[in-house]
Amino acid sequence: MYTDYKYVQECLKRIETQLGWGDAASWHNDVFIELSERIHQETQVLLSPTTLKRIWGRINYKSAPSISTLNALAQFAGFQNWREFKTSQPEEKPSRFRKIIDEKVGVIMLSAAFMTIVFISLFSLSDPERPAIDPDRIEFTSQPITGDLPNSVVFNLDLDGIESGDVVIQQSWDETRTVRLEPGQTQATAQYYYPGYFRSKLRIDGSIIKEHDLFIKSDGWLGTLDYSPIPKYFSEAEVVRGGLRLPEDALQELMSREDPLVSAFHYVNDFGPVSGDDFVLETSIRNIYHEKWAVCQRVNLLILGSRSAIIIPFSIPGCISEIGVMMSEVYLGGKENDLSGLGIDFSESRDIRIEVTDKYIQVFAEDTLLYSGSYTQSIGRIAGFRYRFVGAGEVSKLKLMDSGGKVVLDHNFN
């Protein structure tokens, strides 16, 4: 535990209260993405979703946050910098009685620690090693309750003969989305607010013992206003109308807001064995609201895979420091990397082409190369697509081709 740990936890509590997004233990990956965006909007410092997960303890990471990270958190919490936040906290000064007690307790604890080490050493000589867990003896299945969203999923387990106090269900490839089980528990439920392809894992004592696929489809195109934690949904009939776009009343609702709001379109389905590491995607995108807090015209195009995902971001040139590329295990933030090629104006419809060949990505607007990069960990089979606008946008076409040039999906909304 690092020196400022207690202060960091207090700062996180302030931020959670300030946001009003509910218990941070229930925050999923998209919440941390939105938090990253909010912090950057207010502090001009980009903290990646992975960094935020580490600070909130959702990813095991023992090192202390950097001072620039702490300054950004303090500013987001309403202070000038980390030093001002620390000095604002009441300092606990132990009384003379407390000091005397602490000195005596220190002697007692030192003696107790020595005796404990001796006891453990002796006990370990005779304690038999715990037998290895046989995955074939374990039942681990899941069943969605409905075909709609939001959707609750019931996990069924049979852990007969397993003695462990550390049993966790990991809901997807996102390691922060977990459900912890009590000893003897045979069922657990988890909530899913968005469609997607999730690889659920059963972890015992930190090791993956069993896993299976959980596929929540979108039933055609689905539109959302991404309120947290529960989005507002719009059916395919409501969003496919001379282009993929939100209904007029939803657009007015979004435009009347004083705070940023993300809108999104989702298409999640079974595309067969189409590799997420070898494909061509063609689409046309236009931003239809770029006033007030949406002036940067930020758009994220997500390619969802059975194992991971690819996120290609865009914004106007003046806001490229706010965006970040994700390619499976690789995350590149605009503060530390030159992403200026992805700075384009979507006031008019732009034709975007993404080519992925053996985990090497090239992004084009019309015939101009905007960005190229690579990753090493496969995203698996393609499971769907998601367009996320900070504000509102319109999609006029989406075409997917496999590595051999075969057309897998061809949606023209005009």
**Same domain membership, residue 274 and residue 402:** yes
Domain that holds residue 175: 135-216
The C-alpha atoms of residue 365 and residue 367 are separated, in whole angstroms, by: 6
**Same domain membership, residue 265 and residue 207:** no
- The number of distinct structural domains making up the chain is 3
**Same domain membership, residue 228 and residue 202:** no
Residue 397, strand partner residues: 284, 412
**Same domain membership, residue 335 and residue 226:** yes
**What is the secondary structure of 105-129 as a DSSP string?**
HHHHHHHHHHHHHHHHHHHHHHSPP
In this prediction, residue 103 carries a pLDDT of 54
Assess if residue 130 is contained within a domain. no
Please name the helix (run of DSSP H) or strand (run of DSSP E) that holds residue 267, with its range, or none.
strand 262-268
**Same domain membership, residue 236 and residue 320:** yes
Assess if residue 43 is contained within a domain. yes
**Same domain membership, residue 247 and residue 172:** no
The C-alpha atoms of residue 348 and residue 225 are separated, in whole angstroms, by: 22
Contact 311, 275 (CB under 8 A): no
231 CB-contact burial (10 Å; exposed 0-12 / middle 13-18 / buried 19+) = buried
Domain stop point among 20, 54, 88: 88
In this prediction, residue 280 carries a pLDDT of 98
Assess if residue 20 is contained within a domain. yes
Contact 55, 69 (CB under 8 A): yes
**Same domain membership, residue 405 and residue 311:** yes
In this prediction, residue 376 carries a pLDDT of 95
Per-residue confidence in pLDDT tens, the chain, 414 aa: 778 888 999 999 999 988 888 778 778 777 888 898 888 878 878 788 888 988 998 887 767 888 888 999 999 999 989 989 998 888 655 555 455 545 554 555 555 555 555 444 444 444 455 567 777 778 899 988 888 898 989 999 888 777 777 888 887 766 667 888 888 888 998 888 999 888 888 988 888 888 888 889 998 999 999 988 789 999 999 999 888 999 999 999 999 998 889 999 999 999 999 999 999 999 999 999 988 899 999 999 999 998 889 999 999 999 998 899 999 989 898 888 999 999 999 999 999 999 999 999 999 999 999 999 999 999 999 999 999 999 999 999 999 999 999 999 999 987
In this prediction, residue 129 carries a pLDDT of 55
Of the candidates 323, 179, 196, 228, the residue with the CA atom closest to the CA atom of residue 31: 228
Assess if residue 117 is contained within a domain. no
Tell me, what CATH number does 154's domain have? 2.60.40.10
Assess if residue 104 is contained within a domain. no
Residue 244, strand partner residues: 240, 395
| DSSP category for residue 320 | G
Domain stop point among 163, 190, 216: 216
The C-alpha atoms of residue 360 and residue 372 are separated, in whole angstroms, by: 7
Residue 285, strand partner residues: 350, 395
The amino acid at residue 97 is: F
Q: pLDDT per residue over 296-345, tens digit each? A: 999 999 999 988 899 999 999 999 988 999 999 898 988 889 999 999 99
**Same domain membership, residue 346 and residue 324:** yes
| DSSP category for residue 315 | B
- CA atoms in the 13 A half-sphere facing the CB of 69: 18
C-alpha 390: how far from its chain's center? Answer: 16
**Same domain membership, residue 328 and residue 244:** yes
